[in-house]
Amino acid sequence: MKQHATWIAMAVVSLAVLAGCGGNQSAAIPDPTFTNEPQKAKIVGSNYKFEVTQGELKAGQPVTLTLEDQSGAHGFLITNTNINEKLKSGEQKTITWTPDKPGDYLVVCSVPCGSGHSSMQAKIVVK
Ligand SMILES: [Cu+2]
């Protein structure tokens, strides 16, 4: 029973940390009838491509976006947003992004990184 309570406490703390990114501390405990997980996506950059892994992203809801640079120095620029994170090889960064409109968002490299620079492109679909 004590272990069970510890698990619950850990889950609540995790949620509080996630919610803290959005700056709204009071919304840490979600309505139990609302089953949507927080949205997550990951963009992996390397010489010379981007790969996006994601669930279905919905407009108007925050996305926890993990950016990971596996090789080379690249800029993670998402079109029609103000996201432009420049990372070095081996770096990872997590940001929160709320796509305001449905549509296709392109991920392109904003750092001149070499011969394959212009071919670095991936797509995030928001519904
Ligand atoms: Cu580049």
pLDDT of residue 54: 78
Mean pLDDT score of the chain, rounded to an integer? 83
Ligand 1 centroid to residue 7 C-alpha, Å: 43
Ligand 1 centroid to residue 59 C-alpha, Å: 28
pLDDT tens readout for residues 26-83: 555 554 444 346 888 999 999 999 999 876 799 999 999 999 999 999 999 999 999 9
pLDDT of residue 78: 97
Query: Is 108's pLDDT higher than 90?
Result: yes
> DSSP 3-state assignment of 118?
helix
Structural domain containing residue 109: 36-126
Query: Is 21's pLDDT higher than 80?
Result: no
70 and 85 inside one domain = yes
The pLDDT of 101-125, averaged and rounded, is 96
68 and 119 inside one domain = yes
26 and 75 inside one domain = no
Ligand 1 centroid to residue 18 C-alpha, Å: 30
117 and 63 inside one domain = yes
Query: Is residue 68 within 8 Å of residue 42, measured between CB atoms?
Result: yes
46 and 104 inside one domain = yes
59 and 14 inside one domain = no
Query: Is residue 52 within 8 Å of residue 42, measured between CB atoms?
Result: yes
74 and 20 inside one domain = no
78 and 92 inside one domain = yes
**Structure-model confidence comparison of residues 7 and 83, the more confident one:** 83
- CA dist 26 and 113 (Å) reads 42
